[in-house]
Amino acid sequence: MSITAVMYTMDNLPLPCQLEWEIQWNNSNSLPSLQDKEENRGVAGVFSGFVGNELIIAGGANFPDKMPWEGGKKNWERTLYHAHTDTMDFQWGIITDFLPAAIAYGVSIQLAEGLLCIGGCDMKRCFDDVFLIYKEGGVFKISYDWPSLPVPLANATGALLNNKIYIAGGQEKMSEENATNHFFVLDLDHKDKGWVALPSWDGNARGYAVSVAIENGESPVFYLFSGRDYRSSGYVEILTDGHMYDPFVNRWTRLQGFFPVMAGTAFVHSENIVFLGGVTKLFPGSYEHPGFENILRVYDRISHRFVHEEILPFSVPVTTNIAVRENNFYITSGEIKPGIRTPSVYEGQIIPLEK
């Protein structure tokens, strides 16, 4: 699938523009069946990324027997899936009961030595645990030699910037689901100092936000987009704002624009932020929603505006993670409708256009 860009002027009239790259999609891969069970239903809220040259997908939650409106109960997973991605069709390996507990809705941070898993939750509580999935002697292992979060957090967002990990938002409890405005940093060069609280953005508390970090350029920055503010009282508001944090001056800047990408995913390519999917509205008085947008948006961080919007021919999962390896990215399972997961692992390859 190619990308043809549309540049929007200040009065929102489309002006033809051409990006210097296109995306080719491979939609042929799905999570494998587990033992004697039927076709894999997929999982939302997974940890995912690369360990060496293997894509891993771990944990997550789903409704394995019945949908929630049929009385089905959510199940949290401990399973690890892994596959080499250098072939068109993945050959999956499965390790059941791999994670230390059944966990979903944490933050995945790709490191050179493996995949760092931060926070998350099960049915009853949120976690402050931080652990690394790595491989040694051909065996996947877990290292717990990492400082715990200052508070338990699920449904937070985070990114790696200049060897520092930033974590924003999320909730501390499952019994009282209240969004927070926490903003923490862990300096990987000084792990012994643990997580440090930083000033929060000027805006709502939030969970289910989207974040990326851009390291190139004179001023590396952390971006925070969208999400939803919610309270145990039943209050809920979908957010469409954007914020940029500059660690050099320890200051937030509110971005102009409309970012309807709650619970979606994003990654950075060159000076662009590529957003995939998101939820734009909820049913009144409920966390449920009518479905997700299957829209790909490209935001140019130099001009501070969207330069492309495209409807994709498949349902774009949310409440999941994007794993990136060189010019390839992978949308790792996730939720495509309320309560409905997909086992699909969508692969996109960014290909430069000939000039």
pLDDT at position 279 is: 87
Instruction: Check if the beta carbon of residue 61 is closer than 8 Å to that of residue 76.
Output: yes
For 118, other C-beta atoms within 10 Å of its C-beta total 26
* Backbone phi, psi, residue 331, to 5°: -90, 110
Contact assessment for residue 240 and residue 255, using Cβ atoms and an 8 Å cutoff:
no
At residue 338, the pLDDT reads 84
Q: Is the pLDDT of residue 191 over 70?
A: yes
CA distance 6 to 284: 33
H-run or E-run covering 56: strand 54-58
For residue 246, what pLDDT is reported? Answer: 97
For residue 151, pLDDT over 90 is answered with yes
Q: In what order do the strands lie in the sheet with 139-143?
A: 107-111, 114-118, 130-136, 139-143
**pLDDT-based confidence at residue 9 (cuts at 50, 70, 90):** very low
Q: At residue 284, does pLDDT exceed 60?
A: no
Q: What integer is the mean pLDDT of 87-101?
A: 95
224/242 Cα distance (integer angstroms): 6
**Tell me: the pLDDT tens digits for 197-256?**
999 999 999 999 999 999 866 789 999 999 999 999 999 999 999 999 999 999 999 999
Task: Quote the pLDDT of residue 36.
Answer: 67
Q: Do strands 328-332 and 335-337 pair parallel, antiparallel, or not at all (unpaired)?
A: unpaired
- Three-state SS for 354? coil
- Residue 48 pLDDT greater than 50, yes or no: yes
Tell whether the model's pLDDT for residue 87 goes beyond 90. no
Residue 8, pLDDT above cutoff 70: no
> For the segment 50-83, what is each residue's pLDDT rounded down to a tens digit?
999 999 999 999 998 888 878 889 999 999 999 9
| pLDDT given for residue 217 in this prediction | 65
Q: pLDDT class for 164, splitting at 50, 70, 90?
A: very high
- Looking at residue 1, its pLDDT comes to 37
**pLDDT computed for residue 270 by the predictor:** 87
Pairing of strands 107-111, 114-118: antiparallel
Question: What band does 162 get if pLDDT is binned at 50, 70 and 90?
Answer: very high
Could you list the beta-strand ranges (E) of 146-195: 157-161, 164-168, 183-187
Q: What 8-state DSSP symbol labels residue 69?
A: G
Per the model's pLDDT, the better-predicted residue between 99 and 282 turns out to be 99
**All residues at 6 or more sequence positions from 249 whose CB lies less than 8 Å from its CB, including other chains:** none
| pLDDT attached to residue 13 | 35
CB 119, CB 149: distance < 8 Å: yes
Q: What is the pLDDT of residues 292-340, one digit of tens each?
A: 789 999 999 988 999 999 999 999 999 999 999 999 999 999 999 888 9
355 pLDDT above the threshold of 90: no
Determine the Cα–Cα distance for residues 79 and 42; give it in Å rounded to an integer: 12
Q: Per-residue pLDDT tens for 120-130?
A: 999 999 999 99
- Indicate the pLDDT class of residue 282, thresholds 50, 70 and 90: low
Whole-number pLDDT of residue 15: 38
User: How much is the mean pLDDT over the chain?
Assistant: 91
Give the CA count within 13 Å in the CB-facing half-sphere of 58: 36
User: By C-alpha distance, which of 122, 206, 220 is closest to 167?
Assistant: 206
Question: Bigger pLDDT: 192 or 287?
Answer: 192
- Which residue in 328, 104, 110, 352 sits closest to 213, CA to CA? 110
The CATH superfamily assigned to 6-352 is Kelch-type beta propeller (2.120.10.80)
